[in-house]
Amino acid sequence: EVQLVQSGAEVKKPGDSLKISCKISGYSFTMYWIGWVRQMPGKGLEWMGIIHPLDSDTKYSPSFEGQVTISADKSLNTAYLKWNSLTPSDTAIYYCARHSGSYYDFYYYGLDVWGQGTTVTVSS
Amino acid sequence: SYVLTQPPSVSVAPGKTARITCGGNKIGSKSVHWYRQKPGQAPVLVIYYDTDRPSGIPERFSGSNSGNTATLTISRVEAGDEADYYCQVWDSNSDHYVFGIGTKVTVL
């Protein structure tokens, strides 16, 4: 069974750093792009970026470029989302999800398997 | 940046047909995906590549895409279809995905 299991909820203070994880099982980690999606309280879905674990090629939404870092560790079958300095506006649920399809045509297939979400709360 | 337009809400009676639109400039030339999200749950892919259904998604869910509008159609609506629905496309000009704002489907 394909599973994306995310790390647990986090409560942080403004200015803190944070790295959340998404551990993949049930398929070869290096086959598919992994993406991150933000959902602020009561709001819609926002696509943040993706990484291909094979070569760590990464694409960011312009809204998130420079604000977060997406990475992957092939040895651990795990993708990460990192902040260097959190602000209250980073309070949200963050989902990882698998982009099915090949390295070059993933955009034809959508996000077919999702993690359960990680709730991040940033408050002083 | 590419913009997708969805109606904020759609209401439909049980057994009827719900149509949720997703507008965008020449969206017919792009591949559109649709997601369903129920409260407190992660989104679920219900349509990809305009018209294809992932395994496990009922045939009541169908999609179309032409010109400047893509449409998700839910036939024979059930109470369990009540959820937020999001469209998504890849913006090849800027190399990133875009989501619509989401449409809340209410079953009367």
Q: What does the pLDDT look like over B58-74, one tens digit per residue?
A: 999 999 999 999 999 99
| pLDDT at residue A107 is higher than 90 | no
Residue A65: CB atoms within 10 Å: 14
pLDDT (mean) for B37-56:
97
* Interface test mutation site (partner B, options A1, A107, A108, A118, max chain B beta carbons within 10 A): A107
Evaluate whether B31 touches B82 at the Cβ level (below 8 Å).
no
Note the pLDDT of residue A53. 96
State whether A110 and B42 contact (CB < 8 Å): no
Question: What count of Cα atoms within 13 Å lies in the side-chain half-sphere of residue B80?
Answer: 4
Mean pLDDT of chain B: 97
3-state SS of chain A: helix, strand, coil percent to 5? 10, 50, 40
Report strand pairing: A118-122 vs B44-47: unpaired
Evaluate whether B35 touches B85 at the Cβ level (below 8 Å).
yes
Note the pLDDT of residue B5. 98
Name every residue whose Cβ is closer than 8 Å to that of residue B80 and which is 6 or more positions away in sequence: none
State whether B35 and A111 contact (CB < 8 Å): yes
| pLDDT at residue B1 is higher than 90 | no
Residue B93: pLDDT band (50, 70, 90) is confident
Note the pLDDT of residue B46. 98
Note the pLDDT of residue A33. 97
In chain B, % of residues over pLDDT 90:
94
Residue A19: pLDDT band (50, 70, 90) is very high
Which chain A residues contact residue B27 at CB under 8 A? none
Which chain A residues contact residue B45 at CB under 8 A? 110-112
pLDDT (mean) for A47-67:
96
Nearest CA-CA distance, residue A59 and chain B, Å:
7
Chain-centre distance for alpha carbon A67: 13
State whether A46 and B99 contact (CB < 8 Å): yes
Note the pLDDT of residue A71. 98
Which chain B residues contact residue A107 at CB under 8 A? 31, 90, 92, 97
